[in-house]
Amino acid sequence: MLFNKLIEIDKVSDSIGNVNFREAVRAVIIKDNKILMVHSKNRDYKFPGGGIKKNEDPIEALKREIEEETGYICTKVSNQIGIITEKSKDKYVNNRIFKMISYYYFAEVSDVKKEQKLDAYEAMLEFKPIWIPLEEAINNNETIINSGMEPIANWINRETYALNKINAYINKRNYNKKV
């Protein structure tokens, strides 16, 4: 596994006991030296993916999310490459912890692109799929993080961490191929 990271947005005590728990899947799709990301009107980039529904298989959830957010059909899901756990105070309920575990997988898509099927909030954020060089997505998100601009998407730190780990892995593989 490339990464297993805990991101504590707020220091919260597990003794609170009341937890809003969510599991999600994220797709890492690389083709022709570009990565498929979802771009929002806030100018940030996130991985295609989202929440796993009750009784849904994680791989089926990933395929569904890829198609909904990007319009592309997932043709293959490979190994799980990372996990990021986020923990914070719940924004909507006092004395509750929000905890989300995101599972990252390498995946592939066909060249055929359908219409996106966005949720209301995704449509409001104007989610658009884009093939972009990995370093460009990293630089873009880091610029937003370092700008001090408020508010920023709650996913930007998670996704930028994963992008950096994936970039390091790819660069190491490419270096080893040359040696």
Task: Give the residue-averaged pLDDT of 17-39.
Answer: 94
Q: Which of 5-9, 77-81, 87-91 has the highest mean pLDDT?
A: 77-81
Q: Does residue 96 carry a pLDDT above 90?
A: no
Q: What percent of the chain has pLDDT over 90?
A: 76
Task: Give the residue-averaged pLDDT of 111-122.
Answer: 95
User: What pLDDT was estimated at residue 178?
Assistant: 64
Judging by beta carbons within 10 Å of its beta carbon (0-12, 13-18, 19+), is residue 11 exposed, middle or buried?
exposed
Judging by beta carbons within 10 Å of its beta carbon (0-12, 13-18, 19+), is residue 42 exposed, middle or buried?
middle
Q: Kindly report the average pLDDT of the chain as a whole number.
A: 92
Task: Give the residue-averaged pLDDT of 83-111.
Answer: 92
DSSP class of residue 52?
A: P
133-151 per-position pLDDT tens digit = 999 999 999 999 999 888 8
User: What pLDDT was estimated at residue 90?
Assistant: 83
The token pair at 83 is 């996990």
CB 29 within 8 A of CB 109: yes
Domains of the chain: 3-178 (3.90.79.10)
- Rounded to two decimals, what is the model's pTM? 0.92
In whole angstroms, give the CA distance from residue 56 to residue 104. Answer: 16
pLDDT band (50, 70, 90) for residue 94: confident
